[in-house]
């Protein structure tokens, strides 16, 4: 096996950050260090030299957050349709087929049940490599079902967002997922079941305008882009230069949109501690009869 796979482009072309050939070595997007691919994989795509967070697939995200061997995927068979027969530069159904091949997923969201440091949770994760992690109607349905499982089981809900927003190829069917997921979260909130929203680069558009910003605790990975419209659109609209770090996690925390910025390798422990704290506090707040029979309290709360 060669160390670098062959490229037919001139040498200067591969110095650009996106053109590094696929092989056993990878180049850090930030510090440009050449890193052994396996080392980056073992480190969940965090650069060991500079700490830059590269994109993590949804499956790897599950491996990061959920105890080994405990994840039970739900609704994995659900796949998107093409209700509008949409076509832009490509047919929507061709985009779906390409994304399925690229990611091995049926839709941009993976969802299921598992343990986080021995605590049962319901989790849904968006994968940016599937049409930009966009919120199609099936992704919205899987997220809603995750919240509904939380409501039934009273286990905390975790949603990890990495998404360009609503999926324009599904038009209104995509936009209505914003209301549907938010409505389910409203019910979860009434029952005082904890919901942690984790934001990974980037979180924009309809996802940032719905469930991603409705967490009891909103955690962001360092330097993730978080906002509704992107900085380029805002700059062109207001014709002003934006401040440094605008819409990045740290800026959003300073301005009250995000509660915590946590490095990827500390996420699981931090979230488990938060859940211990939140679930402990909720147990104290519940009336005695609710503690004895959680099913009855769920009914009365709904």
Residues in contact with Zn ion by the rule CB under 5 A: 28, 30-31, 47, 49-50, 52
Rounded least distance, CB 197 to Zn ion, Å: 27
Residue 100 and residue 106 in contact, taking contact as beta carbons nearer than 8 Å: yes
Residue placing its CB nearer to Zn ion in the complex, 31 or 172: 31
CB of 221 to Zn ion, least distance (A): 15
Q: Which is nearer to Zn ion, 37 or 104 (CB)?
A: 37
Cβ-based nearer residue to Zn ion, 28 or 188? 28
Q: Are 136 and 174 in contact (CB under 8 A)?
A: yes
Smaller CB distance to Zn ion: residue 36 or 285?
Answer: 36
**To the nearest whole angstrom, how small is the minimum distance from the Cβ of residue 110 to Zn ion?**
27
Q: Say if residues 156 and 121 touch (Cβ distance below 8 Å).
A: yes
The closest of 160, 149, 162 to 121, measured between CA atoms, is 149
Helix (H, G, I), strand (E, B) or coil at 135: strand
Minimal distance, residue 34 CB to Zn ion, in Å: 10
Q: How far is residue 172's CA from residue 263's CA, in Å, rounded to a whole number?
A: 35
Least spacing, CB of residue 35 vs Zn ion, in Å: 7
- Please, what is the minimum distance in Å from the beta carbon of residue 42 to Zn ion? 15
CA distances from residue 14 to 10, 40, 47 in whole angstroms, order as listed: 7, 20, 20
Q: Which residue has the tokens 């005695």?
A: 288
| CA trace torsion 144, 148, 154, 160 (10° rounding) | -10
- Which one, 197 or 249, has the nearer CB to Zn ion? 249
Cβ within 8 Å of residue 11, ≥6 positions away? none
**DSSP code string of 50-86:** T--B----HHHHHHHHS-TT--EEESTT-----TT--
Cα–Cα distance measured from residue 207 to residue 229, given in angstroms and rounded to the nearest whole number: 11
- Nearest approach, Cβ of residue 27 and Zn ion (Å): 9
Q: Which is nearer to Zn ion, 40 or 229 (CB)?
A: 40
Look up residue 253 and give its two tokens. Answer: 């925390």
Question: Is the CB of 46 or the CB of 258 nearer to Zn ion?
Answer: 46
Contact predicate 203/161, CB 8 Å: yes
Nearest distance, CB of residue 265 and Zn ion, angstroms: 14
Closer residue to Zn ion in complex, CB, 48/301: 48
HEC sequence for 205-241: HHHHCCHHHCCCEEEECCCCEECCCCHHHHHHHHCCC
């Amino acid at each position: 096996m060669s160390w670098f796979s062959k490229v037919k482009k001139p040498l200067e072309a591969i110095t650009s950050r996106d053109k590094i050939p696929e092989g056993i070595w990878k180049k850090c997007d930030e510090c440009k260090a050449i890193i052994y691919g396996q080392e980056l994989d073992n480190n969940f795509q965090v650069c060991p030299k500079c700490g830059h967070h590269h994109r993590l697939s949804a499956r790897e995200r599950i491996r990061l957050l959920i105890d080994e061997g405990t994840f039970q995927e739900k609704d994995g068979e659900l796949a998107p349709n093409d209700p509008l027969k949409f076509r832009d530069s490509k047919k929507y159904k061709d985009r779906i087929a390409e994304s399925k091949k690229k990611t091995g997923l049926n839709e941009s969201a993976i969802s299921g049940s598992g343990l986080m440091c021995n605590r049962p949770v319901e989790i849904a994760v968006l994968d940016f490599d599937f049409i930009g992690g966009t919120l199609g109607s099936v992704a919205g349905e899987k997220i809603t079902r995750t919240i509904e499982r939380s409501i039934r089981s009273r286990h905390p809900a975790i949603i990890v967002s990495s998404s360009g927003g609503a999926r324009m190829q599904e038009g209104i069917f995509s936009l209505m997922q914003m209301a549907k997921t938010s409505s389910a979260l409203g019910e979860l909130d009434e029952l005082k079941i904890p919901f942690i929203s984790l934001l990974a680069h980037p979180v924009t558009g309809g996802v940032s305008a719905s469930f991603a910003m409705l967490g009891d605790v909103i955690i962001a990975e360092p330097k993730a882009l978080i906002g509704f419209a992107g900085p380029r659109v805002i700059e062109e609209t207001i014709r002003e230069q934006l401040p440094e770090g605008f819409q990045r996690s740290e800026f959003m925390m300073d301005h009250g949109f995000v509660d915590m910025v946590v490095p990827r390798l500390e996420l699981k422990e931090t979230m488990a501690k938060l859940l211990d704290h939140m679930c402990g506090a909720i147990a104290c707040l519940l009336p005695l009869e609710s503690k004895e029979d959680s099913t009855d309290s769920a009914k009365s709360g709904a």
